Amino acid sequence: MPVAQYCLTAVDCPDPAALAGFYAALLGGEITQDSEDWYDLYAPGGHRIAFQRAPDHRPPRWPSADGDSQQLHLDLHVSDMAEAESLALSLGAMPLDLDDQDGRRDFRVYADPAGHPFCLCRV
């Protein structure tokens, strides 16, 4: 029998309000503020992502030639890849996989405005 229940994923970033806003614009949902250093996004479906201030945050590198880990990433299901990509880019996402055009059919890799990798995955 499990002794724990999943609650949230916390993401370090330099500006938690801005990054919560970025993901709210992509996913929908409601943002709440616990403090100036902690924001929660309650996304549709009961999912919760927290954003906490990390003043010395260094974003992961993807891909990394020297084997650095991407630490974690979010996979986001989309039905219209072109529409999702257009919105993500307009919100400040940066594509990370432009050199892999064959792999970009079913999923695409981006960095959010704080540099965390995330994928748009066609369903």
Is 19 a domain residue? yes
Is 62 a domain residue? no
Mean pLDDT, all residues of the chain: 88
**Quick check: 10 pLDDT over 80?**
yes
Residues 78 and 103 in one domain: yes
Determine the structural domain holding residue 34 and report its residue range: 6-56
Strand order in the sheet with 38-43: 9-13, 47-53, 38-43, 30-35
Residues 34 and 80 in one domain: no
pLDDT tens per residue across span 44-102: 999 999 999 999 988 887 766 676 666 778 889 999 999 999 999 999 999 987 776 66
How many structural domains comprise the chain?
A: 2
Residue 34's domain is classified under what CATH number? 3.30.720.120
Residues 93 and 120 in one domain: yes
Token duo for residue 84? 């999702």
State the Cα–Cα distance between residues 23 and 11, nearest whole angstrom: 11
The model carries a pTM of 0.82
